[in-house]
């Protein structure tokens, strides 16, 4: 089996991993677009013969999750190459992209391409010629995220995608790796946090408890977080209910949560429609709710735009929680500036990473006991050597044979 990281050995995001069997069957894991740097500069996007241009030379693409730096180049892929993604991920991505299409930010042809994505569910086994791919559900800041176990030529490779063990479902990640993966020949592992602040990372449950305290002390509360970070929204939602306040979203956010409510069996993701604000109701904002909001207090999920800015002025004596990556508040990217202009200076920073800590990466290495560990999705690949003596440091485009 041969591995080639076409992109992603020395950057966060934009990862494109190629795996080829001895019979020449080739698949791709993730087809992400580049993330901009702090000044808004973006590296040129990659062009690969047989993948984004020319005659198809790959049997399939597998997407770990719906974040743009893992799926963003789907519309550049040669149309005859099938793209596989988790069933729930596909629907979430479709809801998001449909909204963007209404703002003329996504082409109709792109929506049609998304509708043709093939889907899988937990522990499905997908056979692509002589390669077997098994998706393993993981915890991440994107709902319905996966690792992939790839088997061919009597070799086993685990591609972790983005994962963590400090989320609401984090404990299940290591258990799943033990039960469904076990020992592998090669581990391709994300290393996002290897270069980041080593201070303690909050669990989502600890974040929820901090939010409960804030909502208890403040009648009017606004929260800025990613609209598709369902675990974060679930934590904020539960913290709201503990304080008997109204949990308020706009139509777009409600549509996402209603979809999650219909497909999830877990009480963690029950955003029910009930009559009593002590229950789990999610309120779809309407102007006639203002008096009720003023009376009971509320938590409103917001995004950085003029529509929500008016509420900040309307309820000036409020608490504003900023729950996204802190770099958005310090970078000079134009999009970052939009967020900086929206977020009050006295905001409360309450966030936790969607990525594995070094300790979590070490645990996966110990469980899988690989011969080789290839770091990706990191700004300093050499730091993986602090966790293992089995590191294989590749450059973009370099081929590696799993022996």
- Do 330 and 361 fall within a single domain? no
The mean pLDDT value for 30-54 works out to 85
- Do 322 and 219 fall within a single domain? yes
Indicate if the pLDDT at residue 165 is higher than 80: yes
Contact (CB, 8 A) for 223 and 239:
no
**pLDDT tens digits, residue range 49-60?**
999 999 999 999
Residue carrying structure tokens 């030379």:
57
Q: How many domains does the chain have?
A: 2
Indicate if the pLDDT at residue 38 is higher than 70: no
Q: What is the CATH number of the domain that holds 67?
A: 3.60.15.10
- Which of 26-35, 145-154, 248-257, 268-277 bottoms out in mean pLDDT, i.e. has the lowest? 268-277
- Do 134 and 222 fall within a single domain? no
- Do 144 and 11 fall within a single domain? yes
Among 308, 330, 349, give the residue marking a domain's end: 349
Output the average pLDDT for the chain.
93
| CA contacts within 13 A on the Cβ side of 231 | 25
The mean pLDDT value for 198-219 works out to 93
- Do 220 and 338 fall within a single domain? yes
Question: pLDDT band at 278, cuts 50/70/90?
Answer: very low
Question: To the nearest whole percent, how much of the chain has pLDDT over 90?
Answer: 84
The mean pLDDT value for 44-52 works out to 92
- Do 372 and 311 fall within a single domain? no
The mean pLDDT value for 70-96 works out to 97
pLDDT at 264: 86
- Which of 113-122, 270-279, 323-332 bottoms out in mean pLDDT, i.e. has the lowest? 270-279
Could you list the residue range(s) of the whole structural domain that residue 283 is in?
204-349
Indicate if the pLDDT at residue 39 is higher than 70: no
**pLDDT tens digits, residue range 133-162?**
999 999 999 999 999 999 999 999 999 999
Question: To the nearest whole percent, how much of the chain has pLDDT over 70?
Answer: 96
Question: pLDDT band at 279, cuts 50/70/90?
Answer: low
**pLDDT tens digits, residue range 320-361?**
999 999 989 988 888 789 999 999 999 999 999 999 999 999
- Do 256 and 114 fall within a single domain? no
- Do 221 and 175 fall within a single domain? no
Indicate if the pLDDT at residue 274 is higher than 50: no
Indicate if the pLDDT at residue 179 is higher than 70: yes
**pLDDT tens digits, residue range 363-374?**
999 999 999 999
Among 349, 373, 390, give the residue marking a domain's end: 349
Indicate if the pLDDT at residue 84 is higher than 70: yes
Indicate if the pLDDT at residue 271 is higher than 90: no
Q: What is the CATH number of the domain that holds 231?
A: 3.40.50
């Amino acid at each position: 089996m041969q591995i080639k990281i076409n992109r992603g050995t020395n950057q966060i995001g934009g990862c494109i991993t190629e795996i080829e069997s001895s019979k020449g069957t080739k698949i791709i894991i993730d087809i992400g677009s580049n993330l901009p740097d702090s000044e808004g500069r973006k590296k040129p996007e990659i062009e690969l013969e047989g993948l984004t241009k020319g005659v198809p030379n790959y049997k399939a693409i597998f997407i770990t999750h719906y974040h743009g730096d893992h799926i963003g180049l789907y519309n550049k892929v040669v149309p005859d190459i099938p793209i596989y993604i988790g069933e729930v991920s596909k629907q979430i991505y479709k809801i998001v992209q449909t909204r963007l299409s209404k703002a003329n930010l996504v082409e109709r042809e792109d929506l049609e391409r998304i509708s043709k994505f093939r889907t899988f569910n937990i522990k499905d086994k997908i056979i692509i010629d002589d390669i077997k791919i098994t998706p393993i559900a993981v915890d991440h800041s994107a709902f319905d995220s996966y690792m992939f176990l790839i088997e061919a030529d009597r070799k086993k490779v685990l591609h972790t995608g983005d994962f963590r063990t400090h989320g609401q479902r984090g404990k299940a990640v290591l258990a799943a790796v033990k039960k469904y993966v076990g020992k592998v020949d090669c581990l391709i592992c994300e290393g996002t946090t290897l270069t980041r602040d080593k201070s303690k990372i909050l669990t989502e449950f600890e974040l929820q408890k901090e939010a409960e305290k804030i909502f208890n002390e403040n009648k009017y509360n606004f929260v800025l977080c990613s609209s598709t970070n369902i675990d974060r929204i679930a934590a904020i939602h539960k913290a709201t209910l503990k304080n008997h306040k109204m949990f308020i979203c706009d139509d777009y956010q409600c549509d996402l949560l209603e979809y999650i409510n219909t497909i999830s069996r877990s009480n963690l993701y029950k955003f029910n429609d009930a009559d009593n604000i002590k229950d789990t109701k999610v309120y779809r904002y309407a102007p006639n709710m203002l008096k009720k909001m003023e009376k009971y207090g509320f938590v409103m999920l917001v995004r950085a735009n003029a529509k929500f800015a008016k509420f900040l002025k309307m309820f000036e004596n409020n608490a504003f929680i900023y729950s996204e990556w802190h770099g958005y508040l310090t970078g000079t990217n134009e999009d970052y500036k939009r967020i900086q202009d929206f977020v009050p200076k006295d905001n409360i920073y309450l966030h936790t990473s969607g990525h594995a800590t070094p300790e979590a990466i070490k645990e996966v290495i110990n469980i899988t006991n690989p011969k080789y560990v290839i770091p990706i999705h990191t700004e300093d690949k050499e730091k993986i050597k602090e966790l293992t003596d089995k590191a294989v440091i590749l450059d973009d485009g370099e081929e590696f044979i799993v022996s």
